[in-house]
Amino acid sequence: MTKENFPGWHGTTIIGVKKDGVVVIAGDGQVSLGQTVIKGTARKVRRLSPGGFDVVAGFAGSTADAFTLLERLETKLEATPGQLARASVELAKDWRTDKYLQKLEAMLIVTDGTDLFVITGAGDVLEPEHSVAAIGSGGNYALAAARGMMDSDRNSETVARDAMAIASDICVYTNGNLTVETIKGTTND
């Protein structure tokens, strides 16, 4: 399923916000085909527990592709328990070099409560500036809104929810049906 075969697929806004030792990943539930909403309650944020260490992941892009990547990430995390950075880099290397994985069209935001990363098919593992990451159709709207709220007294969940509300008001491919996962880490923000 390439963009050439299905050029009208749109959907998803995922945001990760790290503040005061708490990381929240929130995602909307919309999947659209052209001007039609196919589903409004998709769940694009998941909690994984490979090797007994909690990780929260959100995905944008093809669902089947994202699930393939989540399974690969779980395998990498089982091989390197508690080492999200290492597992993420290993996944990105595989994604970049494996001919099968290269065709996958998705992006991930992952966190263990301490680190927050965006993983892309270009081989990138990006640690976002300003402790906010966003991907998907409405990602730039959510990112801008969240960054504008980071110096307020709002906690990470409130920042994520408010940013997603703003994105859903602006982006026609984003709705307000949120899945929100919270994970605590260190306070070294």
Cα 48 from chain centroid (whole Å): 13
The secondary element (H helix, E strand) that includes residue 111 is: strand 106-111
The reply to whether 12 belongs to the active site is yes
The CA-based diameter of the chain, rounded to the nearest angstrom, is: 46
Q: What is the DSSP string of 28-49?
A: ---EEETTEEEES----EEEE-
Question: Looking at 2, 12, 111, 174, which residue is catalytic?
Answer: 12
Which residues face 126 on adjacent strands? 118
Place of tokens 């929260």: 56
Beta-sheet strand order (sheet of 55-61): 45-48, 55-61, 106-111, 116-119, 125-126
At 62, the amino acid letter reads S
Question: What's the burial of 100, exposed, middle or buried (CB within 10 Å: 0-12/13-18/19+)?
Answer: exposed
Question: How are the residues of the chain apportioned to helix, strand and coil, as percentages rounded to the nearest 5?
Answer: 35, 30, 35
Active site residues: 12
